[in-house]
């Protein structure tokens, strides 16, 4: 990185130069039957803080604080071999199954109705993924009937017999998961998936026309079929779905921090390429509909790869994918959140994968404590203060190059305008690991400004982590130095820091 002392940045935003409304579902998350996400995570009967349904209330409180609007469930790779009927009805009648995706035993103590109840307690809506690996249209339409039809049919009356008189009203559904991946049970070509997704979408909407559907995009941008997969799938499904999914995880196995901090630029390129492919199909079909995007799996994931290879198969809820996140990871997650907000015009939903224990911001000890990892805080701040109109950020910043990404600005930033609250929130990351970054934000179109608070997440050690014994090693403070003078806000961003500058405007 550049060692020059002449590093400073400027940002100008105008309330009329809008990217788009930030859909609250941009701050969604994901719970899969994987590792200890469910058993020992959100659900642990007998825990000192479990409620009458076995839901851990200490975990619920941490999730409620995040105000997660939507949560994807039950997978993930898990869903492609899952029979949703195994997870309904009396617990004593449910069967344990071999779970092939993650090579565990699934006891089916927690299923559809439990997840709906838990989601309500968490203050979240449900995004349900249907099995298009070993199942197809028949099972999917029956599931929608069970969940959403009022009464008078076999499946809706079965739900009522299970104690749920009113329909669950699940409105968002994923048509399978990562069906382009050879690792997926029931892996398909783009044409094969496009056909079954189309036919499944039709019958699901015939049962409930009010639902919205997400078709599977590429599992990641390195797939050999990308982006042709998107074009072929949409050729079949464009008229029947509302969203196309994107999945991507980011790591730092090379221990190259400047490159790691630049990964959000690759996320932006991925979003732009998928949006362009969607628009190509729109033009090809002469359609008036714009296909929106659901980035329903994203996060940092690389720490636990080696540990996962040592886990013995056929256990119930073993500790899989339990990445221990650092301050450095929190900066990357902050940059990724900014990238999503910068594309709020097309990305309407996104799911941080996952929520508890499995590559997650929240960790638990089975039978013991719950605590938050450093990545919890950028997600918390974005969810709380990132609601409103995302504004076009005109940024002047010094840049640096890496071996993969060039012209990386030291300043990564976005501003969101909440007109109802008369507030602008500036989210900013200083990517420099060597020096602070003076920042000037010009809010010329908003009139007189005053700083409400300047939240900062920083730590002298980029590898610092939180543990059950030291849960606040990495935590935000309110000692940021942002000051307003008329229509200009000035602040000094600490080296390698995440910043949230909340501004009252008149």
User: Which amino acids are annotated catalytic?
Assistant: 178, 297
354 CB-near residues (< 8 Å, 6+ apart)? 29, 30, 31, 32, 34, 37, 299, 321, 360
Side-chain-side CA neighbours of 435 within 13 Å: the count stands at 14
The kind and range of the H/E element at 382 are: helix 376-385
Contact 102/318 with Cβ under 8 angstroms?
no
Cα distances (Å, whole numbers) of residue 344 to 22, 24, 217, 295, 442: 5, 10, 18, 11, 22
Distance CA 246, CA 228 (A): 14
Distance CA 194, CA 187 (A): 12
**What values do phi and psi take at 280, rounded to 5?**
-65, -45
Instruction: Give the torsion sign (CA, 190, 192, 195, 200).
Output: negative
Helix, strand, coil shares of the chain, percent, nearest 5, are 30, 25, 45
Distance CA 397, CA 401 (A): 13
Q: What is the DSSP string of 274-333?
A: HHHHHHHHHHHTT-SPPPEEEEEEEEE--TTHHHHTTPPSS-SS---S----BHHHHHHH
Largest CA distance in the chain: 73
Distance CA 54, CA 110 (A): 10
SS3 371: strand
- Spacing of C-alpha 17 from chain mean position: 26
Residue for token pair 């559904």: 173
Quote the radius of gyration of the chain (alpha carbons, Å).
23
Distance CA 443, CA 460 (A): 31
β-bridge partners, 409:
399
Torsion of CA 27, 116, 366, 471, to 10 degrees: 30
Residue for token pair 């729109």: 282
């Amino acid at each position: 990185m550049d060692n020059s002392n002449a590093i400073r940045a400027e940002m100008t935003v105008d309330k009329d130069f809008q990217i788009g409304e930030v859909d609250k579902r941009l701050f969604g998350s994901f719970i899969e039957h994987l590792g200890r996400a469910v058993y020992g995570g959100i659900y642990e009967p007998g825990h000192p803080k479990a409620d009458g349904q076995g839901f851990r209330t200490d975990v619920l409180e941490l999730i409620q604080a995040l105000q997660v609007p939507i949560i994807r469930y039950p997978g993930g790779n898990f869903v492609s071999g899952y029979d949703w009927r195994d997870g309904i009805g009396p617990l004593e009648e449910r069967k344990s199954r071999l779970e092939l995706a993650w090579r565990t035993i699934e006891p089916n103590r927690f299923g559809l109705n439990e997840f709906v109840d838990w989601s309500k307690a968490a203050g979240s809506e449900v995004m349900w993924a249907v099995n298009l690996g070993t199942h197809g249209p028949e099972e999917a339409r029956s599931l929608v009937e069970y969940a959403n039809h009022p009464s008078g049919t076999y499946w809706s009356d079965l739900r009522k017999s299970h104690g749920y008189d009113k329909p669950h009203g699940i409105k968002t559904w994923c048509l399978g998961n990562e069906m382009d991946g050879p690792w997926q049970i029931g892996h398909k070509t783009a044409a094969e998936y496009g056909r079954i997704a189309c036919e499944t979408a039709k019958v699901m909407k015939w049962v409930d026309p009010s639902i919205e559907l997400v078709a599977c995009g590429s599992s990641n941008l390195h797939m050999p079929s990308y982006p042709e997969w998107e074009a072929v799938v949409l050729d079949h499904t464009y008229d029947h779905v509302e969203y196309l999914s994107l999945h991507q995880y980011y790591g730092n196995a090379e221990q190259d921090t400047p490159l790691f901090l630049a990964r959000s630029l690759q996320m932006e390129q991925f979003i732009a390429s998928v949006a362009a492919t969607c628009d190509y199909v729109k033009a090809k079909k002469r359609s008036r509909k714009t296909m929106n995007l659901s980035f329903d799996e994203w996060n940092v994931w690389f720490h636990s790869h080696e540990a996962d290879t040592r886990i013995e198969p056929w256990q119930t809820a073993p500790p899989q994918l339990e990445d221990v996140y650092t301050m450095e990871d929190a900066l990357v997650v902050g940059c990724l959140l900014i990238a999503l907000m910068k594309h709020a015009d097309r990305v309407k939903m996104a799911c941080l994968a996952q929520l508890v224990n499995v590559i997650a911001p929240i960790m638990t000890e089975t039978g013991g404590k719950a605590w938050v990892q450093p990545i919890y805080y950028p997600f918390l701040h974005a969810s709380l203060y990132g609601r409103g109109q995302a504004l076009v950020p005109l940024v002047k910043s010094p840049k640096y190059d890496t071996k993969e990404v060039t012209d990386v600005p030291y300043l990564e930033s976005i501003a969101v305008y909440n007109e109802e609250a008369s507030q602008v929130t500036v989210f900013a990351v200083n990517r420099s690991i060597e020096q602070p970054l003076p920042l000037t934000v010009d809010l010329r179109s908003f009139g007189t400004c005053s700083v409400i608070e300047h939240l900062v997440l920083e730590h002298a050690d980029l590898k610092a982590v939180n543990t059950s014994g030291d849960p606040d090693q990495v935590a935000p403070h309110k000692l940021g130095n942002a000051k307003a003078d008329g229509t200009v806000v000035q602040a000094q961003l600490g080296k390698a820091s995440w910043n949230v500058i909340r501004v009252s405007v008149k």
